Structure formats: structure tokens, C-alpha cells
Chains A and B, each alone.
Chain A
């Protein structure tokens, strides 16, 4: 043993091996004890670290015991392991065992009886009873296990939007628009990097329809990435009522689903326009599908306006049957134009007497005063046109109002931001960010004091 150790450590050369062996044999017990001490000084560990694991002696012994059995080989292999290796292996084994035990006991815990009926209801498992039969245990376990993962795929908020506004402020319908590739489009090239563009007619689309619709932007990307773009579309917060993002979507089977039933709005008064059919797969009857906009100039948004205006101004009890009366919703615009043409022709044929009325009091008065006949006598109009004219007039008024008040509104917003945007980290951690209700309360208090 000593000889081997010495050899291993290259303290002596192989040529002196024979003599050292003789010496070992002739040593007394006490000296052997000394040898053991020596053993401890040059442990396998140190040798392994110094790179003496495979040395000449090993090779020698290999040739000596060429015809030895497998058992001896195994023992040699065990010798090759350093104490550190053994320790590590032991730790690894403990880790594996504890992982296994942890997994089994965790799964066992998940397969326990329902804590209460509420839990059962929440997991939609009213058909799975309490009791410890394998199938029931497995069912409970799988339900609970999947609920652990659905935590991340469910929308963050239970009600995506606050309750509808009071009657006086309510628009007839709610319009849910996706952001990317419907309203804006982002492109990347090596020269300019990312660039985002607004779709032609977007400002008019939002501005005009905001008088008929409560417009909700429901983006498919995270709030962090899209919020600024959404804010920029409507810096005065005059058109878009709310903006929701990916956090409000449900993620299921790789599909991002926008569940309109969580919107806190009447589904019969809600329209969603989206470029991805997965988004509205839960309520396809509420949807107007659109093709993704590729960034090239088009007028698809503007072309949609007449139909949306028609939909909002006709006071339908339920918009879904109207939407689904179109044979192919992809061609909704063309089909609606066709229908409108038909409607117009029918109205004209039915109201010929109005159109052909040349002699009436207005015309007579105008001719007396030498004015064009249209100044006293309004041309008869189809109801749809009247609605349109009214809408356009109102749009112009609203634009004028915005133009006059924009600086003031922006200034107020900035003031608000300055006041509530500053928050110490300490307060943020201990109390959390100020809630919107809090800010609203402070504001209303201040307004009351000011008046």
C-alpha cells in the first residue's frame, strides 16, 4: 500500500519499488500505523486533484490482473472515486429521493377531498365527488394541477372594464378594436429600426365613431409594449374610453382569446373588430373580421364607418343577428354598400312624390326673393343621410371644441401627472401604488373645495 501511494505521488521512482516493498514487509506494527498516517496525508482526494488518478501503477496492475473477474474491476472503479465524488453522489441521491417523495406527497395533497364547495365550483368540478377512490383522486388532482397553471393564462382582472357610465354619458354600443395591424402597424428594417405607423383615416375613424360607440382598444401585446402607442392615438382621451392589453386576454392552447363576456358590457351591444380569428373565438357572432393591415396605404377603416354608423344609429336590440345577416363577414363592407344602394333605390321609388315636388311654398318664396330654391326648401333626404349629416356636424363641433381646449386639457393632465406621478419607493412598497379610486377621490374633494 505504501509503495503504491509513494509511487502514485511520484515520490519515488518505479525502480525503487522492489526495495520499498521489502521494507514494508519487514516493518513492525507500529510502523504500519505510521504508514496509515501517511495514507491520510496523501488521500485519494489530493491525488485526484493533482492529476494522479490514472498512473503507472494502475496500468501495471491492469496488466497483472488481466484475467481477473468483473468484481475486481468494479472495486477498482470504486477506488477511482474520490471522497468528494462519493459525497456528491450521496447528496445527489438524497436530492433525487427527496424530489420523488416531494412529488408524490404533493400529488397526494392535491388529490385530497375538496376543501369546500366553493373550490369545487371554482374548478367546475361539481360532478367530481369527495372520496378516496383512485379515479376520484386522480380527477381532483388533475383539476387542481391544471388550475395551478391556469393562474397565468387567465385574465388578470375579473371585470375587464368598470361598469357602464351613467345614462347621460352612455353611447349606444361598445366597439372593441385590436391595436396592432388594425389601427397601427410596426415595421422593422436595418436602416431605421422599428417604425410604427397609423392606418390612414384612423383619427377620423376614432373621432367620428366615438360619438356612437364606447371605443375600447383591446391590444394583443403586453401593456408595457403597447400602452404608449395606445395613448398616442388619443392624447386627449377624447375618443378611446378604455385600453386593454394582453394581460386581459385568456391564453389557451397557444391562442390568445379576448373574452368579451368579461367586458362588463351587454354582449348584444358589443362589436369586436379584430385581425386574428382566435381573438374572438368565444364570441364569433360579435365579430367583424378584418385582414391584418400590412402598412400600405388603404381606406379600409374609412369604408367601415357607414356600416358601423348604421349599426349604432338604428337602435337594434341585438347587434349580433344584424352582423350575422351578412353571408360573408369578410366582405361586409361591399355587401353593405350593395344593401345601401338597394335601400336607396327602394326609398326613392317610394318617395317619388317628395322628390318630384317642384312647386311648394318654399320654392315660391325663394323665387320671389330671387334666391336659389334650396335655401328655403331642403331637398328631401333619406333617413340614413340625415343621420350621416347629423353625425358629421357633431363631429365638426367636437373637433372644434377639442381644438380650443386641447392645451388646457394637456396642461391639466400634466399637472395630474406631476402631482400623482411622484411617489417614493418606500411608499410604493409599504402602501402600494395609489389606486385610481384614491386619485379620483382626492380630485373630487379638491374640486368640491374649489367650488
Chain B
């Protein structure tokens, strides 16, 4: 069983990740396309331009994010199930397959390049995460023992 109790165990976490990524994309898309729509509309139509840009574009961004998140999570779970190990390589392998799967319609060259790029990116993420974990890990410290006092127990 996974140790991270902020996340559900494997098959269900795919749904969570899909939803999480989708909402992230929608929120980010709203900001991005809201500003874009605002800037690209003529004076007097800016409010309407913003709204229409958000309405037409933000769900698409959300969908893109959601597909990425859902696919990644699916691959991550599959890799975990097959390897039966929990380490950083899971994410890298899952990233490789995700990048490849999303680019598969662009031909095999594109698929390959995209898979490698995605794997590298996730490798960097995982590496940075592990570094942070290593540097924030605190060594246990000895309690301060009073010198002349008898111990309470034993």
C-alpha cells in the first residue's frame, strides 16, 4: 500500500488525478485566455472578449491538462503494478509513455522525441524532489541528559 495518505490508492487515484489536472487546467486557462481575450479585444468589447475567450478556450486547456494527468496516472499505476517497486523510476517511465502516447499521431519520430523529452522532464522533477527530501531530512538528535540527576526509570 502506498504510504502517502493524502492520495487514494492506485486505481482510484487515476480519477482523482484526472479531475485535479482538469481543474488546474481550467483555472489556469481562465487566467491565461482571460488576459489574452482582454488584450485582443477592441475597446468597449473587452469584457465580452474576455468572457468569450474563456468560454471557448479554457475548457480545452483543462481537457488537455486532464488527459495528460489521467494518462500519466494510469501509466504510473501500471508501472507500479508491474515493477512492484516504489521509486523515482516509476514516474520517469510513466512520463516516457505519457509523452509518447500523446504524440503518437505525429509519427514515430515525434513520438520518440516527445517521449524522451517527457521522461527527462519528469526525471528532473523527481531528482529535484529527492534532493529536497534529502536536504530536509533531519537526523535524530540525542536528548540533553542532565548530568547529576538519577534517571527516572531503569
Q: Do A and B make up one complex?
A: yes
Which residues of A are interface residues toward B (Cβ below 8 A)? 152, 156-157, 160-163, 165-166, 168-169, 171, 180, 186, 188, 190, 193-194, 196, 210-212, 221-226, 237, 242-245, 247, 251, 254, 394, 397-398, 401, 436-437, 440, 443-444
In the A-B complex, the 3 residue pairs with the smallest Cβ-Cβ separation, listed nearest first, are A436-B141, A221-B3, A162-B142
Q: Please state if A156 and B151 are interface contacts (CB–CB under 8 Å).
A: no
Out of B1, B87, B88, B134, name the residue touching A156 (CB < 8 Å): B134
Per-residue CB contact flags for chain B residues 129-153 toward chain A (1 = under 8 Å, else 0) read 0100110011111111100001111
Closest Cβ neighbor of B89 among chain A residues:
A254
A163/B130 contact (C-beta < 8 A), A169-B151, A226-B3 known: no
Q: CB within 8 A of B1: which of A188, A242, A244, A436?
A: A188
Given A157-B139, A171-B154, A398-B153: A251 touches B87 (CB 8 Å cut-off): yes
Complex Cα distance, B154 from A212, in Å, reads: 7
A194 contact from B5, B83, B85, B134, Cβ within 8 A: B5
Q: Given A169, A210, A212, A225, which contacts B4 in the complex, CB threshold below 8 Å?
A: A225
Compute how far the CA of A353 lies from the CA of B85 in the bound complex, rounded to whole angstroms. Answer: 62
Bound Cα distance from A221 to B1, whole angstroms: 11
Asked if A401 and B152 sit within 8 Å, CB to CB, the answer is yes
Q: Which residues of chain A are near B3, meaning CB under 8 Å?
A: 180, 221-222, 225-226
A398:B137 contact, CB within 8 angstroms: no
Q: Within 8 Å CB of A186, what residues of B?
A: 1, 5
Dominant SS among interface residues on chain B: loop
Interface centre among B87, B151, B153 (most CB of A within 10 A): B153
A-B pairs with beta carbons under 8 Å apart, 6 shown: A165-B142, A168-B150, A180-B3, A224-B133, A242-B140, A251-B87
Minimal Cβ-Cβ distance residue in B for A395: B153
B4 to chain A, nearest CB (A): 6
B112 to chain A, nearest CB (A): 12
Q: Using Cβ atoms and an 8 Å threshold, which residues of chain A touch B106?
A: none
CA distance A307 to B23 in the complex (A): 56
Contact (A254, B140) CB under 8 Å given A186-B5, A193-B8, A222-B133: no
How far, in angstroms, from A23 to B12 measured CA to CA in the complex?
72
Chain A, Cβ-Cβ closest to B134: A156
Are B8 and A223 touching (Cβ within 8 A)? no
Query: B142, A152: Cβ atoms under 8 Å?
Result: no
Chain B residues 1 to 16 lying within 8 A of chain A, measured CB to CB, are 1, 3-5, 8-9, 12
**Least CB distance, B42 to chain A, in whole angstroms:** 25
CB-defined contacts of A169 to chain B, threshold 8 Å: 145, 151
User: Size band of the B side of the interface?
Assistant: 20 to 34
Contact B130 A152 (CB under 8 A): yes
* 9 further A-B pairs in the complex, CB-CB below 8 A; given A188-B1, A247-B137: A152-B88, A152-B130, A165-B145, A166-B145, A211-B154, A222-B3, A224-B133, A244-B140, A251-B87
| Shortest Cβ gap from B7 to chain A (Å) | 9
Q: Are the C-beta atoms of A440 and B133 separated by less than 8 Å?
A: no
- The answer to whether B151 and A168 touch across the interface, beta carbons within 8 angstroms, is yes
Q: Which of B141, B144, B154 has the most CB of A within 10 A?
A: B154
Give Cα distance in the complex from A165 to B143, angstroms: 9
How far apart sit A401 and B9, CA to CA, in the bound complex (Å)?
42
List B contacts of A157 (CB < 8 A). Answer: 137, 139
State A440–B130 Cα separation when bound (angstroms).
Answer: 29
Q: With both chains docked as a complex, state the minimum distance between the C-beta of A339 and any C-beta of chain B, in angstroms.
A: 26
Measured between alpha carbons, how far is A196 from B133 in the docked complex, in Å? 24
Within 8 A of A (CB), among B62-98: 83-85, 87-88
Q: When the two chains form their complex, are residues B152 and A398 in contact, meaning their CB atoms are under 8 A apart?
A: yes
Q: Contact between A254 and B154 (Cβ–Cβ < 8 Å)?
A: no
Chain B residues near A160: list those with CB within 8 A. Answer: 139-140
Residues A188 and B142 in contact in the complex (CB < 8 Å), given A168-B150, A222-B133 = no
User: How far in angstroms is the closest Cβ of chain B from A179?
Assistant: 10
Within the complex, the shortest CB–CB distance from B70 to chain A, in Å, comes to: 19
Out of B9, B130, B140, which one reaches A188, CB within 8 Å? Answer: B9
Complex formed: what's the CA distance from A251 to B139 in Å?
18
> In the complex, which residues of chain B have a beta carbon less than 8 angstroms from the beta carbon of A251?
87
Cα A142 to Cα B130 with chains together (Å): 23
Min CB–CB distance A97 → chain B (angstroms): 16
Q: Tell me whether A444 and B137 are in contact in the complex, defined as CB-CB below 8 angstroms, given that A186-B1, A221-B3, A225-B3 are known contacts.
A: no
Q: Cβ of A162 and Cβ of B134 under 8 Å apart? A: no
Could you tell me if B133 and A225 are in contact, using CB atoms closer than 8 angstroms?
Answer: no
Residues in A with CB closer than 8 Å to B134 are 152, 156, 247
